[in-house]
Amino acid sequence: MNKYEHDRIERVFNWVQRKLNTKYNLIFEQFNAEKDLYVSKDTHLCVERSSRDTEDPDSFIIYFDITNTKIRSFKILKQDAFHELTHVINWMKRDIFEETLSHIKSNPIKKGLRKRFYDADEAATYLMERAVGPFIIKGYRKDD
Domains (ranges, CATH) in the chain? 3-136 (3.30.2010)
User: Which pLDDT score is estimated for 1?
Assistant: 67
Task: Kindly list the distances between the CA atom of residue 41 and the CA atoms of 36, 93, 137, in Å, as whole numbers in the listed order.
Answer: 8, 27, 27
DSSP per position, 21-34: T---EEEEEE--TT
pLDDT digits (tens, 9 = 90+) for 61-114: 999 988 888 999 999 999 999 999 999 999 999 999 999 999 999 999 999 999
Q: Between these two residues, 114 and 34, which has the higher pLDDT value?
A: 114
Residues contacting residue 101 through CB under 8 Å, at least 6 positions apart: 110, 113, 114
Cα 47 from Cα 61, distance rounded (Å): 6
* Mean pLDDT, residues 22-33 taken together: 88
Question: Would you mind telling me the total number of residues written for the chain in this entry?
Answer: 144
pTM to 2 decimal places:
0.88
In contact, 13 and 62? CB cutoff 8 Å: yes
> φ and ψ at 70, to 5 degrees?
-65, -20
Residues contacting residue 10 through CB under 8 Å, at least 6 positions apart: 26, 28
Q: Tell me what the pLDDT averaged over the chain comes to.
A: 89
Residue 62, classified by CB atoms within 10 Å of its CB into exposed (0-12), middle (13-18) or buried (19+), is buried
